[in-house]
Amino acid sequence: MTAVPRRLVGRCAVVTGAASGLGAAIAVRLGAEGARVAVVDLDEARGADTVARIEADGGEAAAFGCDVADAQSVDRLRGEVIADLGSVDVVVNNAGVLRDGGLLEISDADWDTVLGVNLTSMFYVARAFVPDMTAHGVGSIVNISSRSALGSAGQANYAAAKAGVMGLTASLAIELGPHGIRVNAVGPGFFATPMTDSVATANGRVPEDQHRAVASRTPLRRVGRPHELASVVAFLAGPDASYVSGQTIFVNGGALTASPIRADDEA
């Protein structure tokens, strides 16, 4: 792997859903770039491994428990992060969940959960941390959307949330740009994580078979590796993206609308 640039020295970054999968890879990458990292997940203990990985690289991090779909929990998080790590410059809204099903199978509760964790949480987290960014005249928010934002059978709840992320991102970029805050999104294709493993298991498949199926219809002929998403998030978070705002960058091995839409594979 090429040497990691130190573009975030002196910055403080919040990464949600950072105990697992893509969030953990993003937190580790931001730490390696020099940021102090708030590793946020449902409970503090689950973030310990990510914190240990950042510290093993010589970085600084702390774990925080927060349900990002709960406004009060997010407001508490703001106070705890600022007390422990100082004011926040970078927010990565990554936490997400799936509750897949066809239109007639998705319960009201599953609809609300998916919209709450994947979309409304980003409103809560931005609302909590933006005033500090505005006060300093600098900040970068990166929201995790998905290829599924473009439409995905059996995932209407998830696709609606992820399309909402794109709209939220574009709107906040316009609103917050005059305050020096950039807002972007990334739309992952398929990355092997506990989330995608759970989709394979739910469909009676082993993850390796699922990876082969996705790879066969992906132009780069393989699934994504979490560090390959983390590097794009780090670029957007840092000074090399100083004139990039309001964008959703798809990171998908070339597979966009060209791939068949298959809810049994995608996250």
Q: Dump the DSSP string for 13-31.
A: EEEETTTSHHHHHHHHHHH
Q: How far is the CB of 178 from ligand NAP (least distance, A)?
A: 28
Out of 158, 190, 235, 250, which one is annotated catalytic?
158
Residues at the contact surface with ligand NAP, assessed by CB under 6 A: 16-17, 19-23, 41-42, 66-69, 94-97, 117-118, 144, 146, 188, 190-191, 193-196, 267
Q: How far is the CB of 147 from ligand NAP (least distance, A)?
A: 6
Give the residue with the Cβ less far from ligand NAP, 121 or 245.
121
Query: Of how many residues is the chain composed?
Result: 267
Give the residue with the Cβ less far from ligand NAP, 195 or 213.
195
* CB-CB contact of 164 with 239 (8 Å): no
Give the residue with the Cβ less far from ligand NAP, 71 or 170.
71
Q: How far is the CB of 216 from ligand NAP (least distance, A)?
A: 16
Q: How far is the CB of 153 from ligand NAP (least distance, A)?
A: 16
Q: Identify the CA nearest to 127 among candidates 157, 159, 93.
A: 93
Q: Identify whether 243 is a catalytic site residue.
A: no
Give the residue with the Cβ less far from ligand NAP, 21 or 31.
21
Q: What is d(CA 37, CA 18) in angstroms, rounded to the nearest whole number?
A: 10
Long-range contacts of 20-23 (CB under 8 A, 24+ apart): 20/46, 20/193, 20/194, 20/195, 21/191, 21/193, 21/194, 21/195, 21/226, 22/94, 22/144, 22/188, 22/191, 22/193, 22/226, 22/229, 22/230, 23/50, 23/92, 23/94, 23/95
Active-site positions read 158
